[in-house]
């Protein structure tokens, strides 16, 4: 049997994709499955963005791109960081990546060596765990419970830092909880970081435009004295409904960006020139569509939380941002589903929901916070109503 590299052996597939695959298999077998497992907007990419990509293709912008990105795209991203984050950055301070995920991969691979500790506030996106373990790092989870608004507590962060700690991964608005960082949280985090100068930071702000309560804040502008230790990343996937275009971007310290560019050049080289032209149109074009999208997701959030309130054994906090609901299902544990499954964990609940109610969700254990499930609210209103009705019926049948 072939012996693969240690990084392959220690890296597990993401549960989100596993549940989505199971849902697809059941649907292919003729089952009426509703999949809320993947966080992908159902809204179409705006026409002016598609038209810009078409014009670029017709104009011959189809050759190898520079590894760090085209001049036009890097300049558009620099303008975006100045406009939306208040960062005074230039095009040379930007790296364009194959989706936001590669920005995180580049940053982690450029920094983390085997045994380095990486602090990840939990709940967290499963992809963080994957890339840290792939690099040989050790994920250190700091619980951020619902009672704390799913926000990172400065004292808890301080207690998690050791001599081996090299990186902090921040994600606000948060996937899966929808928590939004406030100024008090960011100031507390900054105060801790000043006492531990060896700790670098990745600020994953991919949901920056999807905020329903409060306002968008990021660490680099809240604590500009720490900017040389922070990579701030985002992308066009979530805000502009462009997941398939695979276009992410980041800014940060020049040395770290140079190392990340080396990682990218080794792994994939540059990003599609067509996608970069589309991103320029998205970032420099009319921004009123962001409020339109935000209103859609706010309405869906309100609907899902209201509908889930009727589910026995389930409690759901109101997310402040992103497009997920992350209800606690602790009231279902230790009981039995109508189909006879003993519900001892959130994994059991997610599996039973898929098998018996034909609704695909993701267990909270995949996000380092057991006792919950995550469901995406980036689906049509009618689909969400049907899914929630099935979840309520499932919960009512638990005994």
Domains in the chain (CATH in brackets) are: 6-44+289-396 (3.90.1150.10), 61-284 (3.40.640.10)
Instruction: Name the pTM for this structure.
Output: 0.95
Q: Say how many C-beta atoms besides its own lie within 10 A of residue 1's C-beta.
A: 3
pLDDT tens, per residue, the chain with 399 residues: 788 999 998 888 877 788 888 888 888 999 999 999 988 999 999 999 999 999 999 999 999 999 999 999 999 999 999 999 999 999 999 999 999 999 999 999 999 999 999 999 999 999 999 999 999 999 999 999 999 999 999 999 999 999 999 999 999 999 999 999 999 999 999 999 999 999 999 999 999 999 998 889 999 999 999 999 999 999 999 999 999 999 999 999 999 999 999 999 999 999 999 999 999 999 999 999 999 999 999 999 999 999 999 999 999 999 999 999 999 999 999 999 999 999 999 999 999 999 999 999 999 999 999 999 999 999 999 999 999 999 999 999 999
What phi and psi values does residue 70 have, to the nearest 5 degrees? -70, 155
Q: Residues with Cβ < 8 Å from 184, sequence gap 6 or more?
A: none
Q: Report residue 16 as tokens.
A: 């989100």
Q: Say how many C-beta atoms besides its own lie within 10 A of residue 6's C-beta.
A: 11
Specify the 3-state DSSP secondary structure of 161.
coil
Question: Which letter does DSSP use for residue 397 in this model?
Answer: T
């Amino acid at each position: 049997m072939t012996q693969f590299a240690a990084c392959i052996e220690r890296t597990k597939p993401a549960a989100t994709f596993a549940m989505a695959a199971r849902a697809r298999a059941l649907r292919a077998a003729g089952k009426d499955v509703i999949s809320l497992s993947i966080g992908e907007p159902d809204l179409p990419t705006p026409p002016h963005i598609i038209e810009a990509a078409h014009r670029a293709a017709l104009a011959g912008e189809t050759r190898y791109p520079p590894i760090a990105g085209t001049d036009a795209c890097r300049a558009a991203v620099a303008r975006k960081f100045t406009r939306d984050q208040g960062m005074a950055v230039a095009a040379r301070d930007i790296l364009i990546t194959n989706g936001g995920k590669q920005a995180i991969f580049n940053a982690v691979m450029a920094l983390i060596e085997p045994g380095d500790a990486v602090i990840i506030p939990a709940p967290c996106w499963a992809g963080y765990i994957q890339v840290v373990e792939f690099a040989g790092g050790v994920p250190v989870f700091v619980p951020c419970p619902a009672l704390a608004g799913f926000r990172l507590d400065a004292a808890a962060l301080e207690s998690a830092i050791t001599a081996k700690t090299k990186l902090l991964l921040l994600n606000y608005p948060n996937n899966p909880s929808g928590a939004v960082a406030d100024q008090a949280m960011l100031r507390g985090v900054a105060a801790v970081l000043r006492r531990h100068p060896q700790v670098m930071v990745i600020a994953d702000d991919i949901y920056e435009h999807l905020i329903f309560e409060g306002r968008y804040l990021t660490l680099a502008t809240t604590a500009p004295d720490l900017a040389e230790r922070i990579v701030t990343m985002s992308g066009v996937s979530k805000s502009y409904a462009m997941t398939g275009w695979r276009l992410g971007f980041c800014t940060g310290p020049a040395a770290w960006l140079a190392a990340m560019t080396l990682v990218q050049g080794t792994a994939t080289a540059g990003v599609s020139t067509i996608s970069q032209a589309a991103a320029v149109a998205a970032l420099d074009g009319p921004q009123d569509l962001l409020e339109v999208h935000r209103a859609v997701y706010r309405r869906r959030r309100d609907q899902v939380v209201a509908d889930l309130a009727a589910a026995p054994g389930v409690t759901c906090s109101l997310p402040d941002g992103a497009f997920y609901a992350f209800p606690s299902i602790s009231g279902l544990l230790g009981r039995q589903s109508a189909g006879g499954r003993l519900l001892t964990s959130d994994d059991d609940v997610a599996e039973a929901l898929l098998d018996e109610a034909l609704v695909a969700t993701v267990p909270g254990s995949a996000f380092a916070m057991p006792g919950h499930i995550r469901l995406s609210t980036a689906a049509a209103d009618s689909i969400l109503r049907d899914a929630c009705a099935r979840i309520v019926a499932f919960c009512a049948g638990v005994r």
